[in-house]
């Protein structure tokens, strides 16, 4: 059996690393940037919009980064030991990432997810061998958080709970990987960073790193415009349980995004840029365009959390035929 140390070891870089890695976990990170050339909508020629494609992570989303870091931290602290089960609440992507990491390391995983997460997410988690407990879909991610706390309280010795909403290793993953990658990939030219809010780990950790390199870099968060939205995986902070790792004072700006606008950008990114992305990526691009239209020059990096293949059965695609596509 592959040891945890071997599974968690990282190659130096994709170019300098071994021809074959010993674990899927070594493939986390080093995701590419792509320039937006058509979905620009009135943006000045001197402004670049670069999308970071986190769907290239082995588990299919940006959540691979914090999931791996939280498990590494649990092992290092002796909180995750043989015989324990990994338990956490999730709206989908973190659950998939934890299931992948658990499978690679040989640890069982139990996940609490809202009952209305996409069919693709449910099946992907099951494919990695994780057990799923479904919470009330009407209560969203907050309902999953509450049910997960109840399960843990009933049998605390059985579980290791990474607690993605309050674990600083979540933000640290992005401080150590996402931020440095963006800084390197743009050769320090980035002027604005845009990301959506779920746990807040992505924007907190990445933003901190980038501001340490250049204090003038602006960090902008995108969230749903109201509590009753259809952008899976995102939080409307004013109406939600606020994650302990989220500190709004560190942001330069926060934008509210309408569900319909986010969906429309998903459709356009597919047709005009050849990128099939998820709902939160659509929201992120709406925010990136708003930021970019206010500039005469600059480099806006927008983080796209995942690809769209895990949303094809959701409401995102209802009415697609009216917009020039076809519905199977």
The set of residues, in sequence order, having a beta carbon less than 8 Å from that of 119 and lying 6+ positions away, is 313
Question: What is the number of residues in the chain?
Answer: 328
Calculate helix-pair angle for 64-76, 93-105, nearest 10 degrees: 50
The set of residues, in sequence order, having a beta carbon less than 8 Å from that of 296 and lying 6+ positions away, is 44, 46, 47
Calculate helix-pair angle for 93-105, 119-127, nearest 10 degrees: 10
Residue 287 has phi, psi (to 5 degrees) of: -65, -40
How many other CB atoms are there within 10 angstroms of residue 20's CB atom?
6
Which region holds residue 196: left if phi is over 0, alpha if psi is between -120 and 50, else beta? beta
Distance CA 28, CA 224 (A): 28
Task: Give the residue numbers marked as catalytic.
Answer: 63, 280
86 three-class SS: strand
Judge contact between 64 and 97, C-beta under 8 A: yes
- From 35, 32, 94, select the one nearest 61 (Cα to Cα): 94
Longest dimension (CA), the chain: 58
Ordered DSSP codes for 32-52 = PEEE-SSTTTT--TTEEEEEE
């Amino acid at each position: 059996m592959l040891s945890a140390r071997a599974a968690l070891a990282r190659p130096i870089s994709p170019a300098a690393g071994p021809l074959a890695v010993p674990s899927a976990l070594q493939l986390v990170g080093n995701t590419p940037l792509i320039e937006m050339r058509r979905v620009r909508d009135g943006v000045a020629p001197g402004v670049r919009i670069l999308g970071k494609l986190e769907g290239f992570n082995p588990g299919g989303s940006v959540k691979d980064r914090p999931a791996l870091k939280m498990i590494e931290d649990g092992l290092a602290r002796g909180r995750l030991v043989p015989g324990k089960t990994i338990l956490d609440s999730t709206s989908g992507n973190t659950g998939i990432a934890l299931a992948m990491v658990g499978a690679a390391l040989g640890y069982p995983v139990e996940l609490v997810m809202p009952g209305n997460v996409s069919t693709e997410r449910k099946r992907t988690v099951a494919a990695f061998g994780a057990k799923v407990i479904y919470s009330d879909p009407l209560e969203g991610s907050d309902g999953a958080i509450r049910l997960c706390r109840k399960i843990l309280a009933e049998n605390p010795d059985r579980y290791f709970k990474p607690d993605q909403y309050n674990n600083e290793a979540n933000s640290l993953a992005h401080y150590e990987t996402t931020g440095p990658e963006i800084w390197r990939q743009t050769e320090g030219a980035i002027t604005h960073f845009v990301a959506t809010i779920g746990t807040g780990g992505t924007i907190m950790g990445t933003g901190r790193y980038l501001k340490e390199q250049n204090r003038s870099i602006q960090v902008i968060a995108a969230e749903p415009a109201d509590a009753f939205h259809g952008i899976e995986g995102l939080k409307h902070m004013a109406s939600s349980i606020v994650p302990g790792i989220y500190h709004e004072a560190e942001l330069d700006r926060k934008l509210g995004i309408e569900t319909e606008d986010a969906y429309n950008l998903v459709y356009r990114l597919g047709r005009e840029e050849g990128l099939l992305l998820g709902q939160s990526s659509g929201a992120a691009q709406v925010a990136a365009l708003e930021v970019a239209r206010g500039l005469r020059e600059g480099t806006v990096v927008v983080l796209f959390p995942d690809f769209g293949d895990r949303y094809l059965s959701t409401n995102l695609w209802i009415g697609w035929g009216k917009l020039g596509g076809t519905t199977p």
